[in-house]
Amino acid sequence: MKNRKIVGLLAATAMTSLLSNAAHSQVTVSGYVEATLMNLNSKNAPSIVATKSLGSESLLKVEGKGKMSNGWSYSAFQEFESDETFAFHQRQIAISPMTDVSLFYSFDSQKGSEIARTLTPFATERSMDVTGQSGIPEYIDITSGLNYVGFDITNVGPSGQLSVVYNPNLDGTSNTGSDRILPGTNSRSGYSIGYVVSPVSNFKIGAGLTKIDSHNTLFQDANAKTLGFTFAPAPFAIGAQRIQQEGLKTSQANTQKDKIDIVSATYAITKDVTLGASWSQLERTLLGVKQPTETESRLVAVSYNLGPVVASVNYEANYDTAASGTVAPTSGRDVNVTKFKVRANY
């Protein structure tokens, strides 16, 4: 009987603490579960064989926001994701001393130059995310899978956002804890800046800049910049973007330059059904020599929105892809993928 009273007291104390904390903050839970069926065929790519793949992933996001005792606003969130190396994935603490200014620590969320990473419209997913087989490299950032600090300023121009981040150490081993200094070479540090603004109705333009400094003089520094726009007079939307970058996010001794062009468009047939198409091209320069072969990726997509559930189909055709992100595109190395996906949001 005595043990029951103790358990009851502990439960009541925990509930009181929870309710007390809830009174000062607003907590929300959201996420999704999705399943995909993909069919892949390749040509002149011995490392990739024709295959069918059935997979799934899920995400749970817990977010809280409220007021601090000094009147400033704060927010924090944590994501739990089955699709990534880190189960405790995106996370952030942000403090706002005034309405349009936010200071933050974050891990892997879209900040800095990443707010300008995708400026062209898409019906389902941006082209680099559909299958990962396009051969078009990602825009270089200092935020994906890494810890960083920075600030956001909103209403800088019409519906404008300025985001600035700094990463003092790009070593992967530095992101596994907050109370210990783990072994690492501290080989690279960097900063990035992104700005997106809507100067007129239905028109958005943005730019991003990333600078990574290699502390080893034998390795190439990485620099990336992008500029793009979207024009969206409903039900149409069209956009174009150029990315130019030198070096890699990881240490790279050989000099490398990539130029990427992306053009995409969407059309809402009804309020539930959207069509999309995109074209991407990669021009690569290695050791100062422009490679004669360029990679090209074409994507068509259709999305059917049923409220909390979205069904989609993507067909991606990739031509003259490179076997890796550090070698020249190979003529005739083609990869085609069809992807069916159902996502349930909550």
Q: How confident is the model at residue 84 (pLDDT cuts 50, 70, 90)?
A: low
One DSSP character per residue, 226-276 reads EEEEEE--TTEEEEEEEEEEES-SS--SS-EEEEEEEEEEEEESSSSEEEE
On whether residue 170 sits in a domain, the answer given is yes
Number of domains in the chain: 1
pLDDT at 14: 41
**Could you read off the pLDDT of 172-200 as tens digits, one per residue?**
665 567 777 766 677 889 999 999 999 99
Domain with 251 in it: 35-345
Taking all residues of the chain, what is their mean pLDDT, rounded to a whole number?
89
Residue 16 has pLDDT above 80, yes or no: no
Residue 25 has pLDDT above 80, yes or no: no
Mean pLDDT of 285-302: 96
On whether residue 2 sits in a domain, the answer given is no
Tokens of 263: 């053009």
C-alpha closest to that of 112 among 190, 174, 186: 190
Q: Give me the CATH number covering residue 79.
A: 2.40.160.10
On whether residue 25 sits in a domain, the answer given is no
Mean pLDDT of 165-170: 92
On whether residue 147 sits in a domain, the answer given is yes
On whether residue 254 sits in a domain, the answer given is yes
On whether residue 119 sits in a domain, the answer given is yes
**Could you read off the pLDDT of 45-74 as tens digits, one per residue?**
877 776 888 999 999 999 999 999 999 999
On whether residue 21 sits in a domain, the answer given is no
On whether residue 255 sits in a domain, the answer given is yes
- CA-only gyration radius of the chain, Å: 23
Tokens of 309: 């559930």
Q: How many CB atoms lie within 10 A of CB 262?
A: 23
Q: What distance in Å separates the CA atoms of residue 192 and residue 171, rounded to the nearest whole number?
A: 17
Residue 262 has pLDDT above 90, yes or no: yes
- How far, CA to CA in Å, does 29 sit from each of 18, 61, 292? 16, 6, 50
C-alpha closest to that of 120 among 191, 196, 199, 193: 196
Mean pLDDT of 4-8: 46
**Could you read off the pLDDT of 221-245 as tens digits, one per residue?**
999 999 999 999 999 999 999 999 9
pTM across the whole model: 0.87
